[in-house]
Amino acid sequence: MKAIVLKKMMPAAVFMLGISGAFFTMSMQSTAEDVVPIIGFVPSEDDPCDIPVSCDTAQGQLCRLFGATGPQAKAMDSPTTCNRVVFRPQ
């Protein structure tokens, strides 16, 4: 009786072990140094943090409203000012 249960449960146990190993391996590959998406803002006449633009924190080209052209976007560094330099997403 024990041999029958062992023979039927062994493939399921090996499968579950393989799946969990794959998830643990993938989670170890991501680090805190990965690129972090952040919202940059382009100033308008009335508000220094007006138009939202998708940017990130990886060093590269500056984040701008229209890709490589347009006004530079900056992230919020306080509730009322946008002075933090952000970069274009890769």
Q: What is the pLDDT of residue 78?
A: 84
Does residue 75 share a domain with residue 55? yes
pLDDT at 34: 59
Handedness of CA 67, 68, 70, 73 (dihedral sign): positive
Encode 56-73 in three state secondary structure. ECCCCCECEEEECEEEEC
Is residue 4 domain-resident?
Answer: yes
Query: Are 13 and 51 found together in one domain?
Result: no
Does residue 90 lie in a domain region?
no
Give the pLDDT of residue 26: 61
Residue 49 located in a structural domain: yes
The reply to whether 45 and 23 lie within a common domain is no
Q: How many domains does the chain have?
A: 2
Asked if residue 49 and residue 81 are part of one domain, the reply reads: yes
Helix (H, G, I), strand (E, B) or coil at 44: coil
In a domain? residue 69: yes
Closest CA to 37 of 87, 79, 84: 87
Mark whether 79 and 59 lie in a shared domain.
Answer: yes
Residue at 41 is within a domain? yes
Are residues 24 and 41 located together in one domain of the fold?
no
Q: Which residues contact 84 (CB under 8 A, 6 or more apart)?
A: 74, 75, 76, 77
Nearest to 52 by CA among 40, 38, 66: 40
pLDDT number for residue 48: 78
Range of the domain at 4: 1-30
pLDDT digits (tens, 9 = 90+) for 20-63: 887 777 655 555 455 678 899 998 888 878 889 999 888 888 99
pLDDT tens figures, 36-48? 788 999 988 888 7
CA–CA separation, 50 vs 46, rounded Å?
8
